[in-house]
Structure 1
Amino acid sequence: MGNAQSPSNNDPRYVSATRAFTQKELEDLRSRFNNLANQSQSNGKYIPPSVFQSYFGFHGPLGERMFDLVTQERKDQKLTFEDLVVAKATYEKGTKDEIEEFIFRLLDVSGDNFVGRSDLETVMIAIFNDILRIKGSDDRSSSHEDIVNIFLNAANFSKQDGGGTEGTMSFEDFRSWCTHLPSVRKLLGSLLLPPDSGRPGYQIPKLLTSKAIDSNIILLRKEYTWHIGGALSHQDLEDWNLLYHSSVNGLSFNTFLGNISNHAGPTVLIIKDKEGYIYGGYASQPWERHADFYGDLKCFLFQLNPVASIFRPTGANNNLQWCAINFSSEDIPNGIGFGGRVNHLGLFISANFDQGHTFSCTTFGSPCLSKTNRILPEVIECWGVTQDATQDKNDAVKGTILERFKEDRNMLKMVGLANSSE
C-alpha cells in the first residue's frame, strides 16, 4: 500500500472520477485546492496534512487516517488535486456500498485492517471533542467517557482479529451500528464537505429552558440531542423547548397534557426509570385523545443510556403513536406510548404517570428499552420541536394512506377494520 502513486491527469482512476462532477464542481474544487495548497511550502502543488486537517476541522488519529485514505495510503504526506477528486468521487458520489466501505476503512484509525472497540472509541472522542466540540464539561453524574461508551455499546464485534484477543467489527456489524446511530453515519459521511456548507450530522438543536430550572436535572444532554437529531430532518434541528419536566411540574398526566397543549409541532418524550435506564420516543403528531393508534412514519423510539440506539418504523403495521384519555374500556388503556399492540406497547406510560411497560415490538423493530418490561418512572420530560418555517408544506400529506385520508380512516373505524394488524 505504501508504494501507491498519486493519480495523474491521464490516470484512469482520475479520468473516471472527474465524470462524477459537473464542470462547475470541478472548478470549485480546483479553486479550493489551490487556496489550501498555497498555504504550504509546495508552490501550490500539494496540501500537507496540517493544512488539510486544519481546514476540514478534525485532527489526531481520525484526521491522520482520513488524510491517509485520501492520499491512497502513499505515506508521502502530499495530497494532490487528483487525489482529492478521486477520494471525493468515491466518498461523496459513489454508490451506497462504496461510500460505506470508505467510511468503514476510515474507522480503522490504527491502520491494522481491523475495526475494534478501541478504534470506535478514538473516533467517538474525536467527534465529540474536535468536531462537535462537546467537551464533557457539563456538571452531570455521567462522565464524558460514559457518554462515549453508550455509543460503543450499540456496536457488535462478531469477528476476531489476528491474535484473537479482541472482537472486531465486520462490515455488516458496521452497517447495523450506523442504522442505530444515524447521527454517526451522517457526520462520518460528510467530513470532506467544506466546513461552511452546513455539513450533515454537525447540527445540535439548541435546548431552551426556563432560567429558574437547574440544568443538572435535565435528562437531555447535548450528546443525546445530537443522537436523536440524527433521525430527523434539518428543519427539526433548530430550537427544542422544554415543555414539561416531572421534577418541576410533578408526575401528573393532566399537567403534562396542559403544558404541551399549546405546542402544535412534534415532541420528544424522555423517561428515566428507577433502574437508571433512559429512553423515549419522537412523536411526530400532537398528543391528542384517540381511541386507537395514530401518527405517521416519522415517529421512532430511542435509547439513550446505557446504550444509544434509534429504532425507526419497519412498516410492519401502523401502530405508531398512542394517546388515550378518560376512556372507561379496558381495551383502551389510558396513557401515552408508541408501537406494538394494546397492553403490549413498545413504550407505554399509564395515565397515572406512576408505571408503564416496554416490550419488543415489530412496529419499530425495537427491543425492551429497559432492564425489565415493567417501567417505574423516576423522571419524565418532554421537549417541543420548533420546526423551521421553510419546511416542506407537503409534509402534511406524507405518511400512510390511512393518515392521508382521514375520512376513509374514520369510515374504516366504523366498520372495525382500521388498524387490525398488530
Structure 2
Amino acid sequence: MGNSQSPPADPLFVLASRAFTKQELDELRALFVSLSAQSQSDSRFVSPSVFQAYYGINGALCERMFNLVTQRRGDGMLTFEDLVVAKAVYEKGTPQEIEEFIYQLCDVSGDGLLRRSDLEAVLKSIQDTVFSTKNTEHGLSPHQDFVSIFVNAASFSERLGDSNENVMSATDFRVWCNAVPCVRKFLRGLLTPSEPGGVGRQVPRLQYPKTLRSDMLLMTREYAWHVGGLLSPDELEEWRLLYHSALNGQSFNTFLGSLSDAGGPTILVIRDKEGYIYGGYGSQPWEKHSSFYGDMKSFLFQLFPKASIFRPTGANANLQWCAVNFSSDGIPNGVGFGGRANHFGLFLSSSFDQGHTFPCSTFDSPCLSKASLILPDVIECWGIVAGGALGENPEPAKGTILERFKEDRNMLKLVGLAGSSD
C-alpha cells in the first residue's frame, strides 16, 4: 500500500474528486496507469517526456503546464492526485478559476507577472505545436509574423514599480483573450489528448486553384486558425477560394458571380495599399438587399499588423450589406459590415477600387486600417465547406434572389429588425 493509487488523505484531492463521476475517475485512473507505465515509474508517476508526448505541447508552454499540474513541486513527477486536482480546476472549475489558471499558465517565467516575453514564449509554443512542419500543407510556410501579430493585439497597462516596464493586468489579459479566441480555445484544450484536429488545434484545409501560387494568397493557415477561433469544428474542415482579385479581376460583378453558388458562410479578406490585412466573416450569402441583413454570427477581424476579432455587440442589427445597382446615395452599392450606410465598419464600393472602415458600435470595432479611406490591393473571398459540398443546401432556396429578398425583408420588418440604425 502507500503508493499513488491508494486513497490519499490530501483534502485538496478529496475535494477535487467530487467534481468527477465514478466513471470519469476510473477513466482518469486508467489514463494515469497507462502513462505511468510508459514512464517506467512502477505506477507512481508520469514523467515530463511522456506528458509532453501524450498531450503534444511544445516549448516553454509544456514546461509551465507540467509545473502547474504538479503543483510547482519541481520534482518532475506527475502523480494521480496531481492529475485529478489539475483537471478539476482546469476543466470543471468556475469561469474565474479557469481564467486564473490560464493566466498563470501564460506566466511561463513563474514570477507572478505577465510580461511581453511571457506572451511571446506562449505564442512560440502554440506556433510550434499547431503549425509544426509535419502539419504544413500545400507548401505554405509558417507565418513569419505569427508571434508579433498576436502580441500587437495585447495591452500592457500595469506599470512595474519604478521601472520603465509595463506588464499585463488581469483585465488586459481578459480583453486580449476575447480578441484572440483561437488562443484561448487552444489554452483551454491543453489537457486533452494530442490530435491534429483537437481542441484549439484544428486548421482548415485551404483549397484554391493550382493556377494560383500559394504566395499570392492573403489567407495563410495561421490566419485561418485565428479567424476560426469563433467557428465550430464543422466550419473548420475546409475553406475553398471563391474569388481572388489577381485571378478573377477586380470586379464587383465577377465577385458576386463567383459567390453565387456558395450558399453559405464566406470570409472576405482585404489587403490595402498600406499593407494592412483585415476582413469580415459573413454568415449569410451575399445577395442583393436595400438595407442591412444577416445574423449575430457575423464578425470583423484584423490579421496584420495585429490579429483581433470583433464580435457583434447587439447594439444594432446592421451586420451585412450587399447593395447592387441602386441609384440612391442613401443605398451605396457594394458590400460591407456594421455601422450605417456610408459609415460602415468595413465597406468595399462596387468599383472595388476603394472603400472605408470606421469605428462602429455593431462590433465595437476600431478603424481596421491605418486610415478610414482604404484602397484595396488584393481582395479574396473564401467559402466555408461544412457538412457537404460547397453550395449544397438541404433545402434549395426557391425563386429568384429578388423574390427571396422581398420575403426576407418582410420577415425582418415583422420582428422589427429592418431599418435598424447604428
| TM-score normalised by the chain length of structure 2 | 0.90
User: Unpaired segments of 5 or more residues in structure 2?
Assistant: 1-5, 397-405
Query: Offset of 1:167 from its aligned partner?
Result: 1.5
Distance 1:282 1:190, change over 3 A: same
Structure-1 separation of matches of 2:110 and 2:416: 60
Structure-2 separation of matches of 1:145 and 1:163: 34
| TM-score normalised by the chain length of structure 1 | 0.90
Structure-2 separation of matches of 1:92 and 1:414: 42
2:380 maps to which residue? 381
Structure-2 separation of matches of 1:377 and 1:225: 20
Counterpart residue identity of residue 316, structure 2: N
Structure-1 separation of matches of 2:218 and 2:137: 12
Confirm whether residue 53 of structure 1 aligns to residue 52 of structure 2: yes
Query: Offset of 1:308 from its aligned partner?
Result: 0.2
Structure-1 separation of matches of 2:120 and 2:51: 23
2:400 maps to which residue? none
Distance 1:137 1:36, change over 3 A: closer
Structure-2 separation of matches of 1:28 and 1:177: 35
CA contact (8 A) 1:8 1:82 kept: no
User: Unpaired segments of 5 or more residues in structure 1?
Assistant: 1-6, 397-405
- Give the 3-state SS of the residue equivalent to 1:76 in structure 2: coil
Query: Offset of 1:59 from its aligned partner?
Result: 3.2
Confirm whether residue 420 of structure 1 aligns to residue 381 of structure 2: no
Distance 1:262 1:409, change over 3 A: closer
CA contact (8 A) 1:301 1:312 kept: yes
Query: Offset of 1:86 from its aligned partner?
Result: 0.3
CA contact (8 A) 2:140 2:221 kept: no
Structure-1 separation of matches of 2:139 and 2:236: 23
Structure-2 separation of matches of 1:136 and 1:86: 32
Task: After superposing the two structures, state which structure 1 stretch, 147-156 or 41-50, moved more.
Answer: 41-50
Distance 1:77 1:414, change over 3 A: closer
Counterpart residue identity of residue 419, structure 1: G
1:249 maps to which residue? 248
Query: Offset of 1:161 from its aligned partner?
Result: 3.4
CA contact (8 A) 1:253 1:352 kept: yes
1:346 maps to which residue? 345
Confirm whether residue 370 of structure 1 aligns to residue 369 of structure 2: yes
- Give the 3-state SS of the residue equivalent to 2:230 in structure 1: coil
1:190 maps to which residue? 189
1:125-159 residue CA offsets vs partner (Å, 9 max, x unmatched): 11111343269989999984422100100001111
Counterpart residue identity of residue 350, structure 2: A
Task: After superposing the two structures, state which structure 1 stretch, 139-148 or 39-48, moved more.
Answer: 139-148
- Give the 3-state SS of the residue equivalent to 1:157 in structure 2: coil
1:185-229 residue CA offsets vs partner (Å, 9 max, x unmatched): 000001001224953211000000111111111000111000000
Structure-1 separation of matches of 2:28 and 2:141: 43
Task: After superposing the two structures, state which structure 1 stretch, 8-17 or 138-147, moved more.
Answer: 138-147
Matches within 5 A, 1:207-286: 207-286=206-285
- Give the 3-state SS of the residue equivalent to 1:119 in structure 2: helix
Query: Offset of 1:260 from its aligned partner?
Result: 0.9
Distance 1:111 1:326, change over 3 A: same
CA contact (8 A) 1:116 1:168 kept: yes
Query: Offset of 1:418 from its aligned partner?
Result: 2.5
CA contact (8 A) 2:59 2:124 kept: no
CA contact (8 A) 2:124 2:147 kept: yes
Query: Offset of 1:164 from its aligned partner?
Result: 2.3
Residue identity (%)? 60
Structure-2 separation of matches of 1:204 and 1:293: 31
Distance 1:168 1:417, change over 3 A: closer
Query: Offset of 1:36 from its aligned partner?
Result: 0.5
- Give the 3-state SS of the residue equivalent to 1:216 in structure 2: helix
Matches within 5 A, 1:6-405: 9-133=8-132, 144-161=143-160, 164-196=163-195, 198-389=197-388
- Give the 3-state SS of the residue equivalent to 1:38 in structure 2: helix
Structure-1 separation of matches of 2:414 and 2:113: 58
1:308-334 residue CA offsets vs partner (Å, 9 max, x unmatched): 000010000000000000001111000
Counterpart residue identity of residue 228, structure 1: V
1:410 maps to which residue? 410
Structure-2 separation of matches of 1:21 and 1:116: 35
Task: After superposing the two structures, state which structure 1 stretch, 33-42 or 368-377, moved more.
Answer: 33-42
Query: Offset of 1:10 from its aligned partner?
Result: 2.3
CA contact (8 A) 2:139 2:214 kept: no
CA contact (8 A) 1:107 1:123 kept: yes
- Give the 3-state SS of the residue equivalent to 2:38 in structure 1: coil
Distance 1:141 1:344, change over 3 A: farther
